[in-house]
Structures are given as C-alpha cells and as structure tokens.
C-alpha cells in the first residue's frame, strides 16, 4: 500500500479534515496520527483499511447528495 505519510495526508485531504479531526473520528490521539503522518510509527493494516473506508463513506455521502439534488430538480 502507499506510504503511511501519504495515506494520512491523502485521507485528510479527501475528507476535508485536519489530522486532529481524523484522530477524533477513529478514536486515537492527535499525536498518534501525527506519528503516522511523519513516519515515526507504522500504520497497521486495520487502520489503513479504516482510513480507506472513511474515504469510501465520504464518496458515498457525496453521491447520495448529488442524487437527491438531481431528483429535487426534476
């Protein structure tokens, strides 16, 4: 998988949130997310999958919103 540093930054960018907000969403400390981002500690496979699923969830919410708006504009 891609590097942990890029994964944290990519996830935050795609969700439009800070590392602090990411930490709150997944139930870890801000320092833990900072350590992952800087490469001081490795991200487990479970956390990598969690981050991927957060992005998928956001994409799904965006899709639902677009569908709702398209239906409303009919």
Label residue 21 exposed, middle or buried (CB < 10 Å: 0-12, 13-18, 19+): middle
Write down the pLDDT at residue 1: 44
Structural domain total, the chain: 1
- Say whether pTM exceeds 0.85: no
Question: Which tokens is 37 given?
Answer: 């981002």
Point out the least confidently predicted range of 3-7, 21-25, 67-71: 3-7
What does the pLDDT look like over 12-29, one tens digit per residue? 999 999 999 999 999 999
Structural domain harbouring 58: 4-72
Percent of the chain exceeding pLDDT 70 equals 93
Residues 1, 7 contacting (CB under 8 angstroms): yes
CA distance linking residue 12 with residue 1, whole number of Å: 17
Q: Is the pLDDT of residue 41 over 50?
A: yes
CATH number at residue 32: 1.10.260
């Amino acid at each position: 998988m891609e590097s942990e540093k890029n994964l944290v930054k990519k996830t935050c960018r795609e969700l439009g949130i800070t590392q602090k907000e990411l930490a709150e969403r997944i139930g870890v400390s801000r320092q833990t997310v900072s350590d992952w981002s800087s490469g001081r500690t490795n991200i487990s496979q479970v956390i990598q999958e969690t981050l991927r699923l957060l992005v998928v969830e956001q994409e799904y919410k965006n899709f639902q919103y677009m569908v709702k708006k398209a239906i409303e504009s009919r």
